[in-house]
Structure 1
Amino acid sequence: MELSLKELLEAVNGEVIFMGKTEFNSICIDTRKIEKNNVYLAIKGENFNGNKFVLEAFKKGASVAIIDEVLFDLNDTENLETVIKVQDTEKALLQLAHYYRKKLGLKIVGVTGSCGKTSTKDLIAAFLSEKYKVFKTKGNFNNQIGLPLMILELDSSIDVAVLEMGMSNLGEIDVLANCARPDIAVITNIGLSHIENLKTQENILKAKSEIFNYFGEENSLIINGEDENLLKIKDKCFEILKIGYNHEYDVYAFNIILEEDKTTFTVKDKEEEIIFTIPMAGKHNVLNSMLAIEVAKKLNVTFNEMKRGIKNLEATSMRLQVIKKNKITIINDCYNASPDSMKSSMDVLSSYKIGRKIAILGTMNELGEEAANSHKEVGKYALNKVDLLIAIGKYNDCFKEGFAGENLITFTTKEECINNLSTIIKENDVVLVKASRGMKFEDIVSSLEEVSI
């Protein structure tokens, strides 16, 4: 973090209540991860108060602490370093990241959408990597704590930062967009994720659209033109670019070839066309790639530079990760789940030519009143895609009603499923494992890796 103490104080509107060391490097909010000369920022959560751990942070090497509540003895000077008091540490984190983003002046690409955010982020970073030094959001650091922490990991050597922006309700992406001020925004699609909170897809569109709340004439919004909800975004003061399969779009894809471990397609814009092959399965990743290609075009990356950049693709774990072990193939897609992503993952599963195609599916969270129907719809979609459906969780009856086939096994818990895997799985099986993040289906993946055939 390239800031002076004076700039740090200015950014967070803080007051020094004890002066110790003035040298510092990076921000840390977890005392278990404190390193020498870190700035410890004391965040409050539902079940903890970071202000209680200031002395522990100093003991472990922190040189500065930012607090909003004094829960230690200020007279205990022997154990203190520089302490800065602010009104609210969570707001201070956002203010600090916003200040730092403005100071660095690099390009920011913001990515949001109901599903496909992470894959699109990974593809954008890859397509840009041949020309620029690129930073991308790590893991799921895409909320009001995670996003500013990502910004504060940047430095002046970075040319472009690709930042994922998540939300569960209205107003949340507005906070992130205000903090990061993206130059280019990408919206992947509008699905049913978070409809429990937002009630309608119109509200989901409204929430995702907050990503361009701070746009002016110099900004660009890139949208998936195959999503009818996104086509409702019109007549803005900034540039709107569409991608998809329509030849009238800014760039479009055709001649799509789907294989087990890669996807090939032709891309055409107004000037040229070129064949791309990405090491990712599934037709949905063609659209994700097109979004990434349009971002790269806006940043003056050529098609040939993009093709070379594909070699640098680093896909986030548990996103259609293919594991071949113990004579079976496991498709680990445990990171999250929505009706659209469930269907896309089963499309990938159905592309395999050898062995039984088995889907182990769990609960899709945050669907509210749409939950029962959505699980039924996914079950119905599975009927022509899989040889065996294994359903786990409270919506088993909905999966069963939709599937309406004989090759269905249900379990109440993932532990029951794990205990029965050895009697179900056979040599050459291809097994998709997918559910919402809270189900922690990676435990099933780990067990599949240990199954003896």
Structure 2
Amino acid sequence: MEFLSIDEVVKAINGKIVKEGNSFKFNGVSTDTRKIEKGNIFFALKGENFNGNSYINDASDKGATLCIIDEIMFNEEKIKEYTSIIKVENTRKALLDLAEYYRSKLNIKIVGITGSTGKTSTKDLTAAALSSKYKVFKTEGNFNNEIGLPLMIFKLNNDYDVAVLEFGMNNLGEIHRMCKAARPDIALITNVGISHIENLKTRENILKAKLEIADFFHEDNVLIVNGDNDLLSPLNSHKFNIIKAGFNNKEDYYANHIILNEDNVLFTVCEEKTGENEEIEINLPGKHNVWNALLSIACGRVLGMSLKEIREGLKNISTTGMRLDIIREEKYTIINDCYNASPDSMKAGIDVLINIKGERKIAVLGTMKELGDEAYNAHKEVGKYVAEKGVEVLITLGEFNKAYEEGYVNETKGEKKEIFNFNSEDEAANFLRDHIKYGDVLLFKASRSMKFEGIIKKLKTKE
């Protein structure tokens, strides 16, 4: 974290000092007293079941040199002499406001990534692609919301050349507020599906929310989109540059000669404007990762890299956990894709399952959240897709077991297929332990809240 004075902080967040300490060196930002380090700025945030304002004395004890509050709930006699306290109207807004000011002090390019699916894989691919030429920071884990994103910004300093930041959302306005703080120079949109349609009602509204990533763009900024997505393909703008990538040779960047292997993908990327091409290998499975890689390649070109430099960078990919992790056990293979789920990512996971060599293919699927009125049909459609692809065994958990079964059974039309529904992860794990055969390949996929990694852990436990 670069240096900030207390006067800068007060001005940036429109706050008032209510207690002045004797130390004004700040080395980081925290919103969790369990993780505070000496010299941190602590923001007292509120949630449904907690109020950070009640932890100010604890934050001071643990070494916070500055606390930002919106309610006075501390005992001043117990505040350490080094701790200053600033009161603001709203600490969540203040967190973004200070991040916005801090970002303005940085001489660094920021790449913003959003989309209904594939954000994290594209983040990992983009950071890798740029790594052969630049020092790159990328969003850690799932720090991609209005609390997580500013915390990532505070981890930046001018030693970095580029930051690749992920922007998630549940509703309109969220990406706009985050982009006001982060001010990305380049933005990538992976696709527009039906994730979060429960809140946003239509795909057009989802598109509108995703396009907020360009709300602060001008003529020097670049938006890179998946040109094969039906809602992104027609995009055009007179305010900023748009680059499209896909499998169509009319796109600015397109892929051909695609080879899908079990653990990686090979393809040739072609640049329409220059006629250049390069053979690319990415150590991730699935055709969907070709789209993600094309976006990262276009980003590298915008930042002045050659296709050869990008190719070398992509060899350095380091992926975020529980996203199509292929785990080869002695008797069977697990595809751990438990981090999140939507109709598009479910189908992508099933495609990977089918492409891995093995005996039976088994899909263990759970609920896809935040689909609203589309939920039943979306789960039914995934069940149908499982059957279409020839998956021999479908195991489901959650509130849409019947929807999965309807789609799967209707598509199989009486063929000998197996489907099993369970109400708990213990039941599913016990069943799998008893029924897995040598050479089976299993895909585990559900929305994050279902914590499917617990089934994998139980499955691998021999007791």
TM range (shorter): over 0.9
> Given that residues 421 and 451 in structure 1 are in contact (C-alpha distance below 8 angstroms), is that contact kept between their aligned partners in structure 2?
no
1:410 corresponds to 2:421:
yes
Amino acid at match of 2:181: C
Question: Could you say what secondary structure the match of 1:374 adopts?
Answer: helix
- Counterpart of 2:397? 392
Residue 9 of structure 1 deviates from its aligned partner by 2.1
Alpha carbons of structure 1 residues 272 and 31: separation in structure 2 relative to 1, 3 Å: same
Alpha carbons of structure 1 residues 49 and 253: separation in structure 2 relative to 1, 3 Å: same
Amino acid at match of 1:296: G
> Given that residues 57 and 79 in structure 2 are in contact (C-alpha distance below 8 angstroms), is that contact kept between their aligned partners in structure 1?
no
Match of 1:264 among 266, 276, 280: 266
Residue 40 of structure 1 deviates from its aligned partner by 1.2
State how far apart, in whole Å, the 1-side matches of 2:238 and 2:447 are: 35
Deviations 1:232-271 (A, max 9, x none): 3223311010000111211110000001100000011123
> Given that residues 325 and 449 in structure 1 are in contact (C-alpha distance below 8 angstroms), is that contact kept between their aligned partners in structure 2?
no
- Counterpart of 1:144? 146
Question: Could you say what secondary structure the match of 2:262 adopts?
Answer: coil
Match of 2:431 among 410, 416, 420: 420
Match of 2:317 among 313, 320, 325: 313
* 1:81-230 correspondence to structure 2 within 5 Å: 81-230=83-232
> Given that residues 322 and 337 in structure 2 are in contact (C-alpha distance below 8 angstroms), is that contact kept between their aligned partners in structure 1?
yes
Deviations 1:194-226 (A, max 9, x none): 111111111111111111111111111001000
Deviates more, 1:275-284 or 1:387-396: 387-396
State how far apart, in whole Å, the 1-side matches of 2:78 and 2:305 are: 56
Deviations 1:347-396 (A, max 9, x none): 00000222211110000011111111111100000013312111111111
> Given that residues 127 and 136 in structure 2 are in contact (C-alpha distance below 8 angstroms), is that contact kept between their aligned partners in structure 1?
yes
Residue 448 of structure 1 deviates from its aligned partner by 2.8
1:302 corresponds to 2:306:
yes
Match of 1:363 among 361, 367, 371: 367
Alpha carbons of structure 1 residues 376 and 77: separation in structure 2 relative to 1, 3 Å: closer
* 1:423-442 correspondence to structure 2 within 5 Å: 423-442=434-453
Amino acid at match of 2:355: S
Residue 94 of structure 1 deviates from its aligned partner by 0.2
Amino acid at match of 2:433: S
Deviations 1:42-72 (A, max 9, x none): 1111111101111111111111111111112
Residue 80 of structure 1 deviates from its aligned partner by 6.4
* 1:247-262 correspondence to structure 2 within 5 Å: 247-262=249-264
Residue 78 of structure 1 deviates from its aligned partner by 5.2
> Given that residues 97 and 179 in structure 1 are in contact (C-alpha distance below 8 angstroms), is that contact kept between their aligned partners in structure 2?
yes
Residue 315 of structure 1 deviates from its aligned partner by 0.5
Match of 1:276 among 265, 277, 280: 280
Deviations 1:395-421 (A, max 9, x none): 111111111143111112222102222
Residue 450 of structure 1 deviates from its aligned partner by 2.8
State how far apart, in whole Å, the 2-side matches of 1:449 and 1:222 are: 42
Identity of aligned residues (%): 54
- Counterpart of 2:459? 448
Number of aligned positions between the proteins: 452
> Given that residues 326 and 449 in structure 1 are in contact (C-alpha distance below 8 angstroms), is that contact kept between their aligned partners in structure 2?
no
Question: Could you say what secondary structure the match of 1:203 adopts?
Answer: helix
Deviations 1:99-134 (A, max 9, x none): 111110311111010000000000000000010011
Question: Could you say what secondary structure the match of 2:369 adopts?
Answer: coil
State how far apart, in whole Å, the 1-side matches of 2:27 and 2:114 are: 30
Deviates more, 1:76-85 or 1:154-163: 76-85
Alpha carbons of structure 1 residues 77 and 372: separation in structure 2 relative to 1, 3 Å: closer
Alpha carbons of structure 1 residues 83 and 387: separation in structure 2 relative to 1, 3 Å: same
- Counterpart of 1:18? 19
State how far apart, in whole Å, the 2-side matches of 1:53 and 1:11 are: 23
> Given that residues 265 and 287 in structure 2 are in contact (C-alpha distance below 8 angstroms), is that contact kept between their aligned partners in structure 1?
yes
Question: Could you say what secondary structure the match of 1:312 adopts?
Answer: coil
Residue 326 of structure 1 deviates from its aligned partner by 3.6
State how far apart, in whole Å, the 2-side matches of 1:390 and 1:215 are: 46
Residue 7 of structure 1 deviates from its aligned partner by 2.0
Residue 333 of structure 1 deviates from its aligned partner by 0.2
State how far apart, in whole Å, the 1-side matches of 2:77 and 2:441 are: 64
State how far apart, in whole Å, the 1-side matches of 2:80 and 2:127 are: 46
Amino acid at match of 1:282: G
State how far apart, in whole Å, the 1-side matches of 2:30 and 2:399 are: 38
The normalised TM-score by structure 1 is: 0.97
Amino acid at match of 1:403: Y
State how far apart, in whole Å, the 2-side matches of 1:411 and 1:236 are: 53
List structure 1 runs of 4+ shifted beyond 6 angstroms: none
State how far apart, in whole Å, the 2-side matches of 1:288 and 1:275 are: 16
- Counterpart of 2:241? 239
State how far apart, in whole Å, the 2-side matches of 1:239 and 1:396 are: 45
- Counterpart of 1:338? 342
Question: Could you say what secondary structure the match of 1:104 adopts?
Answer: coil
Deviates more, 1:346-355 or 1:143-152: 346-355
Deviates more, 1:153-162 or 1:72-81: 72-81
> Given that residues 55 and 79 in structure 1 are in contact (C-alpha distance below 8 angstroms), is that contact kept between their aligned partners in structure 2?
no
- Counterpart of 1:7? 8
Amino acid at match of 1:389: L
Question: Could you say what secondary structure the match of 2:26 adopts?
Answer: coil
Amino acid at match of 2:283: P
- Counterpart of 1:351? 355
